Structures are given as C-alpha cells and as structure tokens.
Amino acid sequence: MTTPILLTPGPLTTSARTRQAMLLDWGSWDERFNQLTASVCEQLLAIIDGAHSHHCVPLQGSGTFAVEAAIGTLVPRDGKVLVLINGAYGKRLAKICEVLGRDFSTFETAEDAPTTAADVDRLLHADQAITHVALIHCETSTGILNPLAQIARVVKQHGKRLIVDAMSSFGALPIDAREVPFDALIAASGKCLEGVPGMGFVFADKQALAAAEGNCHSLALDLFDQHAYMARTGQWRFTPPTHVVAALHEALLQYAEEGGLHARHQRYARNCQALLQGMADLGLRSFLPAAIQAPIIVTFHAPQDSRYRFKDFYERVKARGFILYPGKLTQVDTFRVGCIGDVDQAQMRAAVTAIADALHAMHIPLPSIGTPA
C-alpha cells in the first residue's frame, strides 16, 4: 500500500526518518530516554528563546490535554478567563473553562475576522474581574491568524495574564518569548514540528508556574506536579509516550537541519502559495483574504453544485493519493487543505491536480474550465 499524503494539520505527513525513530523500545527509567526528554524540552524552549523565562512542561495526550492542563493549572479557582473566539478551537477553550468550573466570558468575532488588540483593550477596561485572557494564535478551523504580539502587549499593560493556544503555529510562525509576554503557550508534537501525535507541551512562565501549586482540579493534568516531578527525577510523572518522544527528537534534528523556524516558515509559505495559486487557476475560491491567511491550512468554498458531496470528493482525492480535511464552518460549505507536514510545493501542485481530476470524475464543472464533456 502506498501511503497517501496527509494534507491535514495533525496528524500530518512525517518523514521516513521520523517514523524509523519509533522502531526502538525505551524504558522510562532509562537514562538515555531521560536525556532524550531533556533534549527535546531544551530544543523546544530554544525555538521561542524562552529558556530564561519559561519552563517547558511536556504532557502525555493530544493537544487539547495540554490546553486543559494549562488552564486548569495556571488559572486559580477564583480566576476569570476572557476567551477570544473566532472558530471551533476558541469555542473549545470556553468549553474547557466551563467544564473545569472556571469563571469566564467570551468575545466572539466572525470566522473571517481576527480579534484585535483594541477589542481586548476595551474588554479588559470593561471587566476588572478578568485575570486571564485565552487566545488561539492560528485558528485551525479556518486558518485565520490572530495578532498575538499586539494582544499580548495589551494584556500585559492591563496587568493580566495570557494563555495562548499556538498548537498549529508553533515552530512555523515566529513567537519570541523575550518580546511577547505570556503565562502559557501550548503546542504539540504532531503539528509544525512534524512529529507524530501523542504529546503536548506547555511553555509556562516560571513564576506563574511556581505560584500554581494546588490550583489544578486534576491529578493527571497538573502541570505544577508534572514539572516538579520531572525537575526532581528527570522522569515523566506517569508512563511517558516513549515512541512519540523519540520521534519528536528525530523530527527536531531535521527541523534544525532544514534551517529551523525561518526555513520551515518559508517552506509552508511556498506550499500555501502553490496551493492558493493552483486552486485559483481552477476557479476554486479560498474563504479568507490573503492578509489574514496563515500558511498552515486553507479553507476553500465547496463547489456550488448539487452533485458535490464531501465524502465522495474525499474518497476520490484519497484514491489519487491525498487526504483532505472537511470544513469546520457552520454557515458555509467548505473543505480544508493543510500546508504543513513533510510536503513541498510539487506535492501541493499534485494535490491540486488530484482535486481537479476528482471533481471532473464527479461531473462537477470547474468555474475556470466549464462543464466537463
């Protein structure tokens, strides 16, 4: 079986080298495994230049586990979170606050409208009870980019704390902890670092984490404990995702070899450009204007045709070697194509050809070409 190329933003296409790193079994007491974990955390911190200000706390599970852990650990039980929403992942932040019993309010903009620093300034003036602001950097449900640096500045000016879900942007879009103040920034192994899914990590402000003892409602998701145990023993508190750590370590070596963040950003930007250009040539429209489109994932309007069914389209594109993502918008019919993973421009162009062929086979006219014979 030839494996299809995943154009989905996690799990995504990994390199053979990264997958091969999972062929060894590691013991969790093994000194070499502990060194692997320490090395991963060190390399992750270096990406945001955060070694002086932040701890990297890795956590078993998917990205949401780490987001829930960050909110549960860093927001005290009498805190209040302002949740900024312009898509499904922002809504998930609010849901987490609700389930954890943390007081919160929400501010929601349209799915194609970034939250602005002026919005946050106004909202913080209006409600002094807010202690924390929670933001999605790149909202993966559309691909929209929110202005993290400007919002972080305003939050800091108000003396409030920022929690950032940078799951789909970390490693590709620049974030500098020396310039962008935050209490927590969360990402995971299986996104722009091109590891396999299975662990998240939280960059937690050292002072904020030190003050967070006893905040958490959960044993397994307590980042204070997770960090304290790891600092003391060098080991994970509970069974580590050994193969995931080994794969991430190998993926980080390749990240450095490629040229680090700048090179990764450039490759994804080229992928995104090739995709947008190819789809525009077919006459398929993207949902977001270019100015707020992150080079991570692109949402396209589904063809306006009664014969279009996403499932059928998906299967036909898959048979041609590419896995797409369904849309995640409530109002409009869309589908999504990821630009991240171990893929390049040539593969993005091949994906566009597969999409054109699939629509042709479904007898769906392409706006640019007209009805197929």
Least spacing, CB of residue 336 vs ligand PLP, in Å = 11
CA gap 83, 56 in Å, rounded: 23
Binder among 50, 58, 63, 303 for ligand PLP (CB under 6 A): 63
Least spacing, CB of residue 193 vs ligand PLP, in Å = 12
Alpha-carbon distances, residue 247 vs 65, 126, 341 (angstroms): 19, 46, 14
Give residues 181-210 in contact with ligand PLP (rule: CB under 6 A): 188
Which residue, 63 or 278, is less far from ligand PLP as judged by CB?
63
Least spacing, CB of residue 168 vs ligand PLP, in Å = 4
User: Checking DSSP bridges between strand 103-108 and strand 5-6, what pairing results, if any?
Assistant: unpaired
Question: Contact between 10 and ligand PLP (CB under 6 A)?
Answer: yes
Which residue, 92 or 153, is less far from ligand PLP as judged by CB?
92
Which residue, 165 or 225, is less far from ligand PLP as judged by CB?
165
Q: What track of x and - describes contact with ligand PLP for positions 76 through 95 (by CB under 6 A)?
A: -------------x------
Binder among 165, 183, 250, 342 for ligand PLP (CB under 6 A): 165
Question: Contact between 73 and ligand PLP (CB under 6 A)?
Answer: no
Binder among 69, 136, 199, 261 for ligand PLP (CB under 6 A): 136
Binder among 60, 86, 115, 140 for ligand PLP (CB under 6 A): 140
Q: 345-361 and 310-319 are packed helices; what angle lies between their axes, rounded to 10 degrees? A: 120
Residue 243 tokens, joined:
């193969």
Question: Contact between 167 and ligand PLP (CB under 6 A)?
Answer: yes
CA gap 54, 228 in Å, rounded: 14
DSSP 106-165: EEE--TTS---HHHHHHHHHH-TT--EEEEESEETTTTEE--HHHHHHHHHHTT-EEEEE
Question: Contact between 334 and ligand PLP (CB under 6 A)?
Answer: no
Residue 219: strand, helix, or coil: coil
Give residue number: closest CB to ligand PLP.
63
Query: What amino acid occupies position 324?
Result: L
**8 Å CB contact between 250 and 232:** no
Binder among 34, 43, 60, 64 for ligand PLP (CB under 6 A): 64
Least spacing, CB of residue 62 vs ligand PLP, in Å = 3
Phi and psi at 283, nearest 5°, equal 90, 15
Using CB under 6 A, which of the segments 20-28, 164-172, 234-242, 281-289 binds ligand PLP? 164-172
Using CB under 6 A, which of the segments 160-168, 219-227, 235-243, 279-287 binds ligand PLP? 160-168
What are the contacts of 222-229 at 24+ separation with CB within 8 A?
Answer: 222/69, 222/72, 222/73, 223/57, 223/59, 223/69, 223/70, 223/73, 223/74, 224/73, 226/57, 226/58, 226/59, 226/69, 227/55, 227/57
Least spacing, CB of residue 87 vs ligand PLP, in Å = 8
Size of the residue set binding ligand PLP (CB under 6 A): 12
The residues near 66 (Cβ < 8 Å, ≥ 6 apart) are 59, 186, 187, 188, 200, 201, 202
Which positions touch ligand PLP (CB under 6 A)? 10, 62-64, 67, 89, 136, 140, 165, 167-168, 188
